[in-house]
Chains A and B, each alone.
Chain A
Amino acid sequence: MSDMTREETEALIQEVLEVYPENAKKDRAKHLTVNDQEVEQSKKCITSNRKSLPGVMTIRGCAYAGSKGVVWGPIKDMIHISHGPVGCGQYSRAGRRNYYVGTTGINTFGTMNFTSDFQEKDIVFGGDKKLSKIMTEIEQLFPLNKGITVQSECPIGLIGDDIEAVSKKTSAEIEKPVVPVRCEGFRGVSQSLGHHIANDAVRDWVLHNRDGDTSFEATDYDVTIIGDYNIGGDAWSSRTLLEEMGLRVIAQWSGDGTLAEMENTPKAKLNLLHCYRSMNYISRHMEEKYGIPWMEYNFFGPTKIEESLRKIAAFFDETIQANTEKVIEKYKMEYEAVIAKYRPRLEGKRVMLYVGGLRPRHIIGAYEDLGMEVVGTGYEFAHNDDYDRTIKEMGNATLIYDDVTGYEFEEFVKKVKPDLIGSGIKEKYIFQKMGIPFRQMHSWDYSGPYHGYDGFAIFARDMDMTLNNPCWNKIQAPWLKGEEEAESAAAGA
Chain B
Amino acid sequence: MPNVMIRVKDNGALLFYIAKKDQEDEIAKVEKDSETEWGGEVELTDGSKYYIDPISPPPSFPTTLRFKRAN
Q: Is A284 among interface residues, defined by CB-CB distance under 8 A?
A: yes
Closest residue of chain B to A295, judged by CB? B10
Taken together as a complex, chains A and B put the C-alpha atoms of A287 and B63 apart, in Å, by 9
- Is B19 located at the chain interface by the 8 A CB criterion? yes
Q: Which one, B24, B45, B46, B62, contacts A385 given CB within 8 A? A: B24
Q: Are the C-beta atoms of A383 and B22 separated by less than 8 Å? A: yes
Encode B22-36 as 1/0 by CB contact (under 8 A) with A: 101000000000000
Q: Which of A41, A287, A383, A384 contacts B62 (CB 8 A)?
A: A287
- When the two chains form their complex, are residues A284 and B7 in contact, meaning their CB atoms are under 8 A apart? yes
A281 at the interface (CB under 8 A from B): yes
Main secondary structure, interface of A, reads helix
Is the Cβ of B5 less than 8 Å from the Cβ of A49?
no
Determine the chain B residues whose CB is within 8 A of the CB of A173 once the complex forms.
none
Residues from chain A with a CB closer than 8 A to the CB of B22 are 49, 383-384
In the complex, residue of chain B having the shortest beta-carbon distance to the beta carbon of A284? B5
A284 and B24 form a contact (CB under 8 A): no
Instruction: Name the A residues within 8 Å of B17 (CB-CB).
Output: 284
Taking CB atoms, residues of chain B closer than 8 Å to A41 are 45-46
Q: Are B24 and A384 in contact (CB under 8 A)?
A: yes
Q: In the complex, which of the residues B7, B22, B63, B64 has the most CB atoms of chain A within 10 Å of its own CB atom?
A: B22
A interface size (C-beta, 8 A)? 10
Q: Does A318 contact B (CB under 8 A)?
A: no
Residues of B contacting A196 in the complex (Cβ-Cβ under 8 angstroms): 19
Distance (whole angstroms) from the CB of A99 to the closest CB of chain B: 32
Residues of A near B7 (CB, < 8 A) are: 284, 287-288
The distance from the CB of B58 to the nearest CB of chain A, in whole angstroms, is 16
A288 and B24 contact, CB distance less than 8 A: no
CA distance in complex: A385, B64 (Å): 19
Query: Which B residues are in CB contact (< 8 Å) with A288?
Result: 5, 7, 62-64
Task: Check A281–B64 contact: CB distance below 8 A.
Answer: no
- Bound Cα distance A284, B46 (Å): 22
List the A residue with the shortest CB-CB distance to B61.
A288
Neighbouring B residues of A384 by C-beta, 8 Å: 22, 24
Whole-angstrom distance between the alpha carbons of A383 and B20 in the complex?
12
In the bound assembly, the distance between CA atoms of A252 and B64 in angstroms comes to 27
B43 to A: closest C-beta gap in Å: 16
Q: When chains A and B are docked, how far (Å) is the Cα of A108 from the Cα of B17?
A: 37
Which residues, 355 to 412 on A, are CB-close (under 8 Å) to B? 383-385
| A385 cross-chain contacts in B, Cβ below 8 A | 24
B5: chain A residues at CB < 8 Å are 284, 288
**Complex interface: chain B residues within 8 A of A49 (CB):** 22
Q: Which residue of B lies closest to A192 (CB)?
A: B22
Query: Separation in Å of the A313 CB from the closest CB of chain B?
Result: 16
What residues of chain B have their CB less than 8 Å away from a CB belonging to chain A? 5, 7, 17, 19, 22, 24, 45-46, 62-64
Top 8 A-B pairs, shortest CB-CB distance:
A288-B62, A287-B62, A383-B22, A385-B24, A49-B22, A284-B5, A288-B63, A288-B64
**A interface residues with partner B (beta carbon < 8 Å):** 41, 49, 196, 281, 284, 287-288, 383-385
**Extra 9 A-B pairs, beta carbons < 8 Å, given A287-B7, A288-B62, A288-B64:** A41-B45, A41-B46, A49-B22, A196-B19, A281-B19, A284-B62, A287-B62, A384-B22, A384-B24
Some 17 contacts from A to B, beta carbons below 8 A apart, are A41-B45, A41-B46, A49-B22, A196-B19, A284-B5, A284-B7, A284-B62, A287-B7, A287-B62, A288-B7, A288-B62, A288-B63, A288-B64, A383-B22, A384-B22, A384-B24, A385-B24
